[in-house]
Chains A and B, each alone.
Chain A
Amino acid sequence: MSTIDRPAATRSGIVGWLQVQLPKIVLSPTCVITLVFVYGFIIWTTYLSFSRSRMFPNLKWAGLKPHENLWANPVWYKAIENLVIFGVLYIGIATVLGLFLAILLDQRIRQEGLIRTIYLYPMALSFIVTGTVWKWMLNPGLGLEKLMHDIGWAGFHFDWIVNSDMAIYTVVIAGVWQSSGFVMAMFLAGLRAVDDEILKAASIDGAGPVRTYVKIIIPMMRPVFLSSFVILGHLAIKSFDLVIALTGGGPGFATALPATFMYEQTFTRNHIDVGAASAVMMLITVAAVMVPYLYSELRAEKGVQR
């Protein structure tokens, strides 16, 4: 069924043409702005990553030198390693936790609205607030460790945040705390949309609750998995304010992430060329992961008629 009625036969010339073209006209400023400010500036940044820009953009060609400098920088390697650790753990744990909470909430319990709001609340905080509060809580001298010592458990140690090897995992903790409520809300909506007929058919066939969930309902959640993956993925790559508030880059540079690296190089260290090169690398990474995933998911949808 076509969603736009085509009244061309009943309305005269300009007004009719206008009605047909109206959606395109309304969307065109967005398209132009996106084209210029997103794709245009992507091309500009890519050019800067091959130029001799230092404190200000400089159009002289420098070839691959900025990229060579980037890949010879130990902080960059640490940033990539941290992004992999943080990205995988953050997306994985937040999705699993969100799904689990949604399944629990789906059991038609009392006060579901209240509980759902409580779990969703962390998402309303900005990452800076989350980072700062978790910094205080995880600080050995001020927070959790001190609390445990004060109530008598003197052997308790939780100094990950000041430990170069473990600091990145504290960023995962704070990030998961913030986002799993949001993932839970998405999965809850998805679970609620499951057709009762299917569940009845499954129970007639003798499937227990666990089997129903694992084999039937969760596979039906594929669009929600896609949405949560995309949202969490972009939050993970963008993660700048959380890291800066929580560890400031970590003991030494133990919690450097590509976003903090790029900011530092471009604005603090007056190396726009290296900063642009790192931004291009981030773009390629994101594209390499998102584009095939999106493509396969959307193709699968086209294959299965809605």
Chain B
Amino acid sequence: MLIRKTTLSVLGAAALALATSGAAQADGSVEVIHWWTAGGEAKALNVLKEKLEKQGISWKDGAVAGGSGQQARTVLKARVAAGNPPTTMQMLGLVIGDYAAEDLLGNLDDLAAKEGWDKVVPPGLQTYMKPEGYWAAAPVNIHSTNWVWANKAVLDKVGVKQPTNWDEFVAAADKIKAAGIIPLAWGGQPWQEATAFEAVVLATGGPEFYRKTMNEQDLDALKSDTMVKAFDNFGKLKEYVDPNAPGRDWNLATAMVMRGEAAMQMMGDWAKGEFLNAGKTPGEDFLCFRFPGTQGAVTFNTDAFAMFKVGDDAKPAQMALASAVMSPDFQEAFNLVKGSIPARMDVPGDKFDACGKKAMGDLAEAVKNDALMGSLAHGFGAPEGVKGAMFDVITNFFNSDISSKDAAEQLANAVAMSR
């Protein structure tokens, strides 16, 4: 039998769709697709499940393992193509816009007006939740990506202070390298290299330049001298990275910092979870600071539950879910476990650890300075096709000898071609 893999996967997706379509969206139940299967994340989501069950709404879990959500998104596409979307799905960034453009998401404006979401959710985040002008998703958290995580003991031993600008950073890294320790723990995967790259772009060009290049992909800005300078700076990081970096997972790089093999890691604040799980204390064992030159600005990524268009009988349960997601007590409980900060700015920060409090303070400052911007590396800067093409250029630059000028040209071309 010449059944091809394509056939099998189509049959598999169809079988999955059939299996889960059985439950017609009856009153009082919600079906949630997500990829929070790791211990802490699953525990955090349980808070929401219990909250809903107290209201008499049953929770049908559609967890699909796979940390980046790729498998979950594939399952979702199959369900949507079969005409049977779930009640809600965990989504990040511009993917919400993709689905809203296909007119698949429901309108949450009434609920938002009643509960006053517009007043408590930062404006920079609202644009992503309202891609077609109306609320289509409820944000759960705010992760930020322009962090540096450092081993305090290593920094003290080598005798460097927390760097506050690019020159101090280079001087500190040189000193650490001279002492025989790897300055930067690096994971050689495209998304990690892009996370570091966008922090360097923000430090080199400032928030407005970051917006133009990483959020709007303005072709002239991408070819400009500032971008060439950003590539120069990014290339400098190659000197501070160990040769085994290609392919390394992010948590292994964090482990290098924890063990003292490396001094610093440029990573989002999910790295904090690794430190806390290993029993480290912020401020004593590890330091968290913004990448030198990006203080006052925050590049963020947010997990949100996008609400699909459902029948009228299923709407009350869906609205209850959205309301529960946005409630202050859920936001606090969830984010304490997850390591991020609430998407609502009116949640008190007393229970959060030192780095969490710093994150909330930085967020308020960034909102005041209008310097809260979506992270390109995590789906808040460009649609998947454009983002992927930019990743190719960034990772190729880091792993080869091409010049900064060529890289900037290639970046602009990649964007133009993949639009």
Q: List the A side residues contacting B278 at CB < 8 Å.
A: none
Q: Quick one: which of B98, B246, B385, B418 has the most chain A CB within 10 A?
A: B246
Q: Is the C-beta of B70 less than 8 angstroms from some C-beta in chain A?
A: yes
3 closest residue pairs by CB, A with B: A252-B399, A251-B399, A141-B244
Q: List the B side residues contacting A56 at CB < 8 Å.
A: 77, 80-81, 102
Beyond A38-B4, A73-B417, whether A55 also contacts B77 by CB under 8 A is yes
Q: How far is the CA of A267 from the CA of B77 in the complex (A)?
A: 10
Q: How far is the CA of A271 from the CA of B399 in the complex (A)?
A: 25
Q: Is the C-beta of B400 less than 8 angstroms from some C-beta in chain A?
A: yes
Binding-face segment, A14-22, A29-37, A224-232, A283-291: A29-37
Q: Who on chain B is nearest to A41 by CB?
A: B6
User: A269, B385: Cβ atoms under 8 Å?
Assistant: yes
User: B74, A270: Cβ atoms under 8 Å?
Assistant: no
Provide a sorted-by-A list of 24 A–B residue pairs whose CB atoms are within 8 angstroms. Answer: A30-B2, A37-B3, A37-B7, A38-B4, A41-B4, A55-B77, A55-B102, A56-B80, A69-B417, A73-B389, A73-B417, A75-B392, A139-B244, A141-B244, A162-B188, A162-B246, A250-B246, A251-B247, A252-B399, A264-B388, A268-B384, A269-B387, A270-B383, A270-B384
Q: Is the C-beta of A201 less than 8 angstroms from some C-beta in chain B?
A: no
Q: Is the C-beta of A164 less than 8 angstroms from some C-beta in chain B?
A: yes
Q: How far is the CA of A268 from the CA of B392 in the complex (A)?
A: 13
Q: How far is the CA of A75 from the CA of B176 in the complex (A)?
A: 36
Binding site for A on B (CB under 8 A): 1-4, 6-7, 70, 74, 77, 80-81, 98, 102, 188-190, 242-247, 383-385, 387-389, 392, 395-400, 410, 417-418
List residues of A (249-264) whose CB comes within 8 Å of B's CBs: 249-254, 264
Q: List the A side residues contacting B190 at CB < 8 Å.
A: 249
Q: How far is the CA of A157 from the CA of B2 in the complex (A)?
A: 45
Instruction: Give the Cβ gap from B105 to chain A, nearest Cβ, in Å.
Output: 14
Q: List the B side residues contacting A164 at CB < 8 Å.
A: 399-400
Instruction: Give the Cβ gap from B6 to chain A, nearest Cβ, in Å.
Output: 6
Beyond A73-B417, A268-B384, A271-B385, whether A252 also contacts B74 by CB under 8 A is no
Q: How far is the CA of A221 from the CA of B247 in the complex (A)?
A: 42
Mask, A151-180, CB within 8 Å of B = 1, is 000000001011010000000000000000
Extra inter-chain contacts (9) besides given A140-B243, A251-B395, A252-B395, CB under 8 Å: A33-B2, A37-B6, A54-B385, A72-B417, A74-B396, A75-B392, A159-B243, A269-B387, A270-B384
Q: Say which residue of B98, B189, B399 sits within 8 Å of A270 (CB atoms).
A: B98
Q: List the A side residues contacting B80 at CB < 8 Å.
A: 56
Beyond A41-B6, A69-B417, A252-B396, whether A162 also contacts B244 by CB under 8 A is yes
Q: How far is the CA of A55 from the CA of B2 in the complex (A)?
A: 28
Q: How far is the CA of A54 from the CA of B102 in the complex (A)?
A: 11
Q: List the A side residues contacting B398 at CB < 8 Å.
A: 252
Q: List the B side residues contacting A38 at CB < 8 Å.
A: 2, 4
Q: How far is the CA of A268 from the CA of B384 in the complex (A)?
A: 7
Q: How far is the CA of A269 from the CA of B73 in the complex (A)?
A: 12
Q: List the A side residues contacting B385 at CB < 8 Å.
A: 54, 265, 269-271
Q: Is the C-beta of A247 less than 8 angstroms from some C-beta in chain B?
A: yes
Q: Who on chain A is nearest to B383 by CB?
A: A270
Interface size bracket, A side: 35 or more
User: A37, B4: Cβ atoms under 8 Å?
Assistant: yes
Instruction: Give the Cβ gap from B251 to chain A, nearest Cβ, in Å.
Output: 16
Q: How far is the CA of A285 from the CA of B74 in the complex (A)?
A: 28
Q: List the A side residues contacting B397 at CB < 8 Å.
A: 252
Q: How far is the CA of A116 from the CA of B247 in the complex (A)?
A: 35
Q: Who on chain B is nearest to A253 by CB?
A: B392
Instruction: Give the Cβ gap from A67 to chain B, nearest Cβ, in Å.
Output: 13
Q: Say which residue of A30, A162, A248 sits within 8 Å of B189 (CB atoms).
A: A248
Q: Who on chain B is nearest to A56 by CB?
A: B81
Instruction: Give the Cβ gap from A168 to chain B, nearest Cβ, in Å.
Output: 13
Q: Who on chain A is nearest to B247 by CB?
A: A248
Instruction: Give the Cβ gap from B129 to chain A, nearest Cβ, in Å.
Output: 19
Beyond A30-B2, A269-B384, A270-B385, whether A251 also contacts B246 by CB under 8 A is yes
User: A33, B1: Cβ atoms under 8 Å?
Assistant: yes
User: B400, A252: Cβ atoms under 8 Å?
Assistant: yes
Q: How far is the CA of A266 from the CA of B163 in the complex (A)?
A: 42
Q: Quick one: which of A37, A159, A265 has the most chain B CB within 10 A?
A: A37
Q: List the A side residues contacting B395 at CB < 8 Å.
A: 251-253
Q: Quick one: which of A38, A140, A162 has the most chain B CB within 10 A?
A: A162
Q: Say which residue of B2, B4, B188 sits within 8 Å of A251 (CB atoms).
A: B188
Q: List the A side residues contacting B396 at CB < 8 Å.
A: 74, 252-253
Q: List the A side residues contacting B188 at CB < 8 Å.
A: 162, 251
Q: How far is the CA of A75 from the CA of B399 in the complex (A)?
A: 14
Q: Is the C-beta of A52 less than 8 angstroms from some C-beta in chain B?
A: no
Q: List the A side residues contacting B1 at CB < 8 Å.
A: 30, 33
Q: List the A side residues contacting B387 at CB < 8 Å.
A: 269
Instruction: Give the Cβ gap from A185 to chain B, nearest Cβ, in Å.
Output: 24
Q: Who on chain B is nearest to A279 by CB?
A: B6
Q: List the B side residues contacting A269 at CB < 8 Å.
A: 384-385, 387-389, 418
Q: Quick one: which of A55, A56, A247 has the most chain B CB within 10 A?
A: A55
Q: Quick one: which of B70, B243, B384 has the most chain A CB within 10 A?
A: B384
Instruction: Give the Cβ gap from A204 to chain B, nearest Cβ, in Å.
Output: 48
User: A69, B102: Cβ atoms under 8 Å?
Assistant: no
User: B383, A267: Cβ atoms under 8 Å?
Assistant: no
Q: List the B side residues contacting A75 at CB < 8 Å.
A: 392
Q: How far is the CA of A270 from the CA of B399 in the complex (A)?
A: 25
Q: Who on chain B is nearest to A29 by CB?
A: B1
Beyond A37-B3, A72-B417, whether A268 also contacts B246 by CB under 8 A is no
List residues of A (32-76) whose CB comes within 8 Å of B's CBs: 33-34, 37-38, 41, 54-56, 69, 72-75
Instruction: Give the Cβ gap from A34 to chain B, nearest Cβ, in Å.
Output: 5
Q: How far is the CA of A56 from the CA of B82 in the complex (A)?
A: 12
Instruction: Give the Cβ gap from A299 to chain B, nearest Cβ, in Å.
Output: 24
Instruction: Give the Cβ gap from B85 to chain A, nearest Cβ, in Å.
Output: 13
Q: List the A side residues contacting B81 at CB < 8 Å.
A: 56
Q: Who on chain A is nearest to B2 by CB?
A: A34
Q: How far is the CA of A250 from the CA of B385 in the complex (A)?
A: 20
Q: Who on chain A is nearest to B395 by CB?
A: A252
Q: How far is the CA of A264 from the CA of B387 in the complex (A)?
A: 12
Q: Who on chain B is nearest to A31 by CB?
A: B2
Q: List the A side residues contacting B392 at CB < 8 Å.
A: 74-75, 252-253
